[in-house]
Amino acid sequence: MFKSSRVPRPMRIPPALDPRAAPTEVAPKHALLINPFYPKDPHASFGKHVLTPSLALTSIAASTPADWSVRYWDENLLHGPPPWRPFPQVVGITVHLTFAERAYELARWYRQRGATVILGGLHVVSCPEEAAIHADALAIGEGVQVWPQILRDVESDCLQAIYRGDYRRPYREAPAPRRDLLPRDSFLTTTSLIATRGCHNRCGFCYLATDGLHMPYLMRDVEQIVAEFQSDGQAYGVFVDNNLGSRPDYLRRLCRALRPLEKIWSAAVSIDVTDDPMLIREMALAGCTGVFVGFESLQGENLAAAGKKSPRPDDYARRVRIFHDFGIQVNGSFVLGFDHDGPEVFSDTVSWIEQNRLECATFHILTPYPGTPLFRQMESEKRLLHRDWSLYDTAHVVFRPRRMAPEQLQDGYAWCYQRLFSHRSIWRRRPLDGRAVMPYLAMSYLYKRSNFLWQFLIRHRLTASVWRPLVEVTRRRHLRYRQQLETAAPSRYGAAGSVISPGV
């Protein structure tokens, strides 16, 4: 259904850097922060790339000294290559595995013309020797802490090779992101929020298990989050926490503080948050309309081998119903290619998704990230196919699966998306309440079936104008549902609030 040949060139190939560009002078105390281009998966939705902006760079921008100017540039917004007028004294580039080569290309281009280049990001943590070749300095760990010192050292001409930030410092000390630097019309919402850092799981395949990455679970003050949400003026916020529900007591306090805002939001949580259905009710009353849940696998053997602490997969369906009973949509995340997965995993997984009416699902091919326990295992077993980091994007097979051929895993991954994005599957997963069907179909078709439109929308900065009317409709529907939930009779989940339909 979605073949690579149908991916528009601007979504596959980064914008060209002008080899003739020759700045006459460097603008002192001017910094440029770049989120590099990465090729888009032809099977997934192109819309997810403009859902919300990078918090890492806008947070670093917030720690820039007041006497410096700073600019933010995201190459994935299809507005061309990063700017060079005025030519920045310092360029900060975030480096992730799949776009490392593009980050290095940008670094070479700016360094050759006189800029000081700082590289940070997860790939710098896992492969510092590789990254150091392309940078004047590396920021390892919490970049917000070290960025002001880096700029002062540039001013004093005493730049060090490596700066290390400590994730153990109180999270409340982090400044609010510089959302004023963002092109607000280019994103579904500019209100990307982070309340907690870290996760109570340490799965062997997850980037949080990377060697050298020590990220304890920390929480920001609830009042900080409320103030950020309110000040950005958006109706919809996205929490980018790894797991907003790791501390149920904190999530409950956060929900009660968000409730008066009458906004809507979504977040990633682990399925065990449904241990307390009344907490799910609190989430609904606070404006939660959707959750991203890392189910990962429907086989317990896979979860145990990965070190994931999770309820039994045979209890997943009941727990999904709890979210649905309180009007919260579920986007399930599934990893394909574990050692206990055979060719049947694809049809079994999609059938389960359809049977349980998940509104959305995201598929990933198991990928051994450098520095993780999974990478060391695959390396010791000689199962890695190559080290082309650009293909370590969870959309390509980079290792030999145990129970199927690499080609079977690659084709099965593509089939899962083809089936899920089909008209038939979208209709099968429609809400049971007829009044909620039309909003669900509108969102599903724009997000899942409109890849042919996304290049145009993104390039011409129409993302916000197309999406936000649908968001406002959703917000108003949810407010009406909340009013009923607040006054409902007791239910099977407890004394406060019956299970009622949100489709009103």
pLDDT of residue 502: 55
User: How would you classify the pairing of strands 218-219 and 196-197?
Assistant: antiparallel
**Residue 214: how many other CB atoms lie within 10 Å:** 12
Find the range with the poorest average confidence among 36-45, 239-248, 302-311, 461-470: 302-311
Rg (CA), the chain: 23
Q: What is the pLDDT of residues 11-48, one digit of tens each?
A: 999 999 999 999 989 999 999 999 999 999 999 999 88
The strands making up 264-269's β-sheet, listed across from edge to edge, are 192-193, 236-239, 264-269, 288-296, 329-336, 360-365
Q: Which two tokens stand for residue 352?
A: 């389960």
Q: What is the pLDDT of residues 165-181, one digit of tens each?
A: 877 777 777 788 999 99
Mean pLDDT score of the chain: 91
Query: 167 and 208 in contact (C-beta within 8 Å)?
Result: no
Question: What are the helix (H) ranges across 156-275?
Answer: 222-231, 248-258
**Domains of the chain (ranges plus CATH)?**
4-164 (3.40.50), 191-487 (3.80.30.20)
Q: Reduce the DSSP state of residue 68 to 3 states and report it.
A: coil
The C-alpha atoms of residue 374 and residue 28 are separated, in whole angstroms, by 45
Per-residue pLDDT band for 244 (boundaries 50, 70, 90) equals very high
The C-alpha atoms of residue 290 and residue 267 are separated, in whole angstroms, by 7
* Confidence (pTM): 0.91
Q: Which residue has the tokens 């001017």?
A: 30
pLDDT of residue 215: 60
Closest Cα partner for 60 from 95, 96, 92? 92
393 secondary structure, DSSP code: S
Could you tell me which residue, 199 or 132, shows the higher pLDDT? 132
Q: What is the pLDDT of residues 123-150, one digit of tens each?
A: 998 889 999 999 999 999 888 999 999 9
